[in-house]
Amino acid sequence: MTIFVFFLILDIMHKQLLEKYKCVPGKRFAYNSASGIITYVPKDLGKVRGNMALLHEIAHAKLGHKTYKYDLELLKMEEDAWNEVKNDSKKYTLLIDEEHIEECLSTYREWISKRSSCPKCKFFGEQMNNQVFYCKSCETEWKVNNRKDKRVMRKIIKHNS
């Protein structure tokens, strides 16, 4: 396949995907499940990671990902979306950077680990709801911030000792 044909296929793929889904240009790749809008970074389309990011956000839409109550549900949605990217990449003959996928999933795992670590004794706690965890070891309950793109903050709300 010549480089010209490759970029022609890539251009057709982008047009098809951007027309099929509600896609708007923005500062980062994201899927808003409430509105169904996918935000993409135009300058990154055509690059391996940009193509992967677009397919990843589209995968969330295709798979019907909405909200989650527990952190592990979010991790499962991310894994499912990346698996969908691998499947779609074959359809569009796109390169996939497996290391990048693992790095992305690793950031979610680290985020989950930080949120679930007890601020008192460092044991892993049980997630009670979206923002509250409980440690069975020292009976501490803490609340965490909800943003995935910010530093994890844990605030003790109850401690029995």
Q: What is the average pLDDT score of the chain?
A: 87
pLDDT at 29 over 90: yes
For residues 19 and 125, give the distance between their C-alpha atoms in angstroms, rounded to a whole number: 44
Domains and CATH numbers, the chain: 13-113 (1.10.10), 119-159 (no CATH)
Q: Give the list of residues 6+ apart from residue 29 with CB closer than 8 angstroms, or none.
A: 38, 39, 40, 41, 44, 50, 53, 54, 56, 57
The pLDDT value recorded for residue 13 is: 58
CA distances from 15 to 48, 98, 134, 139 (A): 17, 25, 48, 54
Strand 22-25, strand 37-40: pairing: parallel
Q: Which is more confident, 151 or 10?
A: 151
* Among 9-18, 64-73, 79-88, the least confident range: 9-18
Q: Model confidence over 88-134: pLDDT tens digits? A: 888 877 889 999 999 999 999 999 999 999 999 999 999 999 999 99
Task: Outline where 63-151 has alpha helix (H).
Answer: 71-91, 98-116
Element containing residue 156 per DSSP (H, E): strand 154-159
DSSP helix, strand, coil percent of the chain (3-state; round to 5): 45, 20, 35
